[in-house]
Amino acid sequence: MDFSYYPGCSLEATAVEYDSSVRAVFEALDVGLHELEDWNCCGASSAHSVNHTLSLALPARNLAIAQRDGRDVVMPCAACFNRHKTADYTLRTDPQERAAIEKAVGFQFSGAVAVRPLLDVIGNSIGLERVRQRVKRPLNGLKAVGYYGCLLVRPPGITQFENPDNPQLMNRLLETIGAEARPWSYATDCCGGGLSLTKSAVAMRLVARLVERAREAGADAIVTSCPLCQVNLEMRQPKQAAKMPIFYFTELIGLAFALDEASGWWSKHLIDPLPLLKQLPV
């Protein structure tokens, strides 16, 4: 089983621990992950508000590379997935736009390669049973809520991934590695990541509500698959409140797999998760 891999810009900057955990988990699962050669930024999150054609051509160029390689392409970043899936959907459904994109990029779209979110690939293609078999240290005692954010499942006609109001795959995955997935109703609420720098007060208000609701659900941590959400949820928590750790789901998989690399991920976090992790039974 092999996939092409589009890390995206965040995983080479604020989310290097996400990239490291993705690669380590795929290696542990013996699944090939091949980074797209000479990939480019997909334009998230500003290109679509500046230039419509460019917002489609940028991700389409990456799709052309994936098409040449002949493998479905895995997207760890929700924003990257959304932009690439939008380009893919447009190429499949709009002949006029397709012609313009093909001309701009210099390729012919075949539709043979699928754009896949990372959570989908691990949870459905690789499979929860395969993940369960690799677990060496179940995360017993960890109470967490799964957080998708707004870009991974919306708009549903384009993303075509899980119920946009009540997705459950993240919870099933958390339970597979031994954690207790707490039910809550805010898994797809926006955290304000797109406004984190321009309207920080709005982002802080949205983050504070999410953290408060996670605590009300009995969670000790929030688990996400989006680098924009992760850094915003860490950075914009209220200063006067106790901080809640925010994990990438692949970090927790790596921890449950007892991977040696996991110890190097925690120092990259703005909120230190070690005090919480040390409370878990060994």
Q: Are residues 93 and 27 in the same domain?
A: yes
Q: Please indicate, yes or no, whether residues 113 and 143 belong to a single structural domain of this protein.
A: no
pLDDT of residue 57: 96
pLDDT at 181: 98
Place of tokens 């926006």: 190
The reported pLDDT for the residue numbered 160 is 96
Coil, strand or helix: which one is 34? strand
Euclidean distance between CA atoms 12 and 234, whole angstroms: 18
Of 89, 117, 145, the residue at which a domain comes to its end is 117
Rounded alpha-carbon distances, angstroms, from residue 71 to 6, 62, 115:
12, 12, 10
Structure tokens at 146: 């799964």
Beta-carbon-side half-sphere exposure of residue 254 (alpha carbons within 13 Å): 24
Contact 258, 136 (CB under 8 A): yes
User: What's the number of domains the chain is made of?
Assistant: 2
The answer as to whether 33 is a domain residue is yes
Picking from 117, 149, 174, the residue at the C-terminal end of a domain is 117
Candidates 123, 139, 147; CA nearest to 244 is: 147
End-of-domain residue from the set 87, 117, 147: 117
CB contact at 8 A, 88 and 157: no
The answer to whether residues 17 and 55 belong to one domain is: yes
Burial 19-58 (b: 16+ CB within 10 A, else e): bbbbbbbbebbebebeebeebeebbbeebbeeeeeebbbb
SS3 42: coil
ω into residue 45 within 30 of 0, thus cis?
yes
Q: Is 282 helix (H, G, I), strand (E, B) or coil?
A: coil
Instruction: Tell me: do 146 and 273 sit in the same domain.
Output: yes
Cis amide prior to 273 (ω within 30 degrees): no
- Domain assignment of residue 188, yes or no: yes
**Which domain does 158 fall in, by range?**
137-257+268-277
Q: Which amino acid is at 6?
A: Y
For the chain, helix, strand, coil in percent to 5 are 50, 10, 40
Identify whether residues 35 and 107 lie together within a single domain: yes
Residue 211 counted as domain residue: yes
Across the chain, the runs of DSSP E, i.e. the strands, are: 2-5, 32-35, 73-75, 115-117, 143-147, 180-181, 221-224, 246-248
**For the domain that residue 26 is a member of, what is the CATH number?**
1.20.1050.140
Going residue by residue through the chain, which has 282 residues, state the pLDDT in tens, using 9 for 90 and above: 999 999 999 999 999 999 999 999 999 999 999 999 999 999 986 777 678 999 999 999 999 999 999 999 999 999 999 999 999 999 999 999 999 999 999 999 999 999 999 999 999 999 999 999 999 999 999 999 999 999 999 999 999 999 999 999 999 999 999 999 999 999 999 999 988 878 889 999 999 999 999 999 999 999 999 999 999 999 999 988 899 999 999 999 999 999 999 999 999 999 999 999 999 986
Q: Which SS3 state, helix, strand or coil, does residue 226 take? A: coil
Asked if residue 263 belongs to a domain, the reply is no
Same domain, 65 and 184: no
| E-assigned strand segments in 109-238 | 115-117, 143-147, 180-181, 221-224
